[in-house]
Amino acid sequence: MANWETLKLEQDEETKGVYTLTLNRPKSMNALNTRMAEELVACLKDLKEQKDLRVLVVTGSGEKSFCVGADLKERNGMTNEDWRRQHDIFEEAYGLLRDFPFPVIAAVNGYALGGGMEMVLSCDLRIFAEHAKVGVPEVKIGIIPGVGGTQLLPRSIPVGLAKEILFRGNQVPAERAQEIGLANYVVPSEQLTAKVLEVARDIGKNAPLSLKALKHSINNGLQTDINTALNIELDQYYKCANSEDRLEGIRAFNEKRQPEWQGK
């Protein structure tokens, strides 16, 4: 694996298919600067090619912050042209995260604000430490979310609640996030890693083609009419049904053993 300046990448020793990507700028509360965005693009592209990968966990270093969004110190004094060039890199990074072929879990270990919350929303599952807070405060500095916040948030929770969060720009504590459906789990901070790995390892044991097909079917079918969505599902179903892994799954069930997935 590459050595990153602003990221850490680790492979789980127990379940090799589980990788953890850590945003690693703790002195800046893991704020997203140009270098981190560039490294995210490169890292996510590399991870897509890892043949043993099944689940990706995204988190922040330390216990204070997941990511507080764009590094406003870096942005201070930027020309409009420079801002646009930087934002193009941000868009590519977030697009790669949203479209990542395997399940992605956000381990929200602290503040996730602005682009940090948009990164959380770009993940498939969200597990919060009980002290974590999320929010999209862009309205307070004269802009709006620009890497998915206005679209992902109302697709995750009721539209009225999403609009309130966006219009007010206030922080949402973990308990409230779970109440409205933003968080899958909320746990004490010292239990966050264990809970995330429990879920990730459970997912990582399953058939890789099935995981990819599930994510593709859900993400591509959710916003279409039901007949189109069912056709998307059926197409993915037959990709799995015609695979060698489907035969292995049936054999393993009948032989009362764990399947040995080949991903084909």
Selecting among 5, 38, 63, 118, the annotated active-site residue is 118
CATH 1.10.12.10 fits 208-254, yes or no: yes
What pLDDT, on a 0 to 100 scale, did the predictor assign at position 1? Answer: 61
CA distances from 36 to 45, 193, 234 (A): 14, 23, 39
Per residue of the chain (264 residues), give pLDDT as tens.
Answer: 678 999 999 999 898 899 999 999 999 999 999 999 999 999 999 999 999 999 999 999 998 999 999 888 888 888 999 889 999 999 999 999 999 999 999 999 999 999 999 999 999 999 999 999 999 999 999 999 999 999 999 999 999 999 999 999 999 999 999 999 999 999 999 999 999 999 999 999 999 999 999 999 999 999 899 999 999 999 999 999 999 989 989 998 999 999 998 888
Catalytic residue flag (residue 118): yes
Choose, from 138, 233, 244, 255, the residue flagged as catalytic: 138
pLDDT, position 227: 97
Domain extents for the chain?
A: 7-204, 208-254
Is 138 among the catalytic positions? yes
CATH superfamily ID and name for 7-204: 2-enoyl-CoA Hydratase; Chain A, domain 1 (3.90.226.10)
pLDDT of res. 2:
73
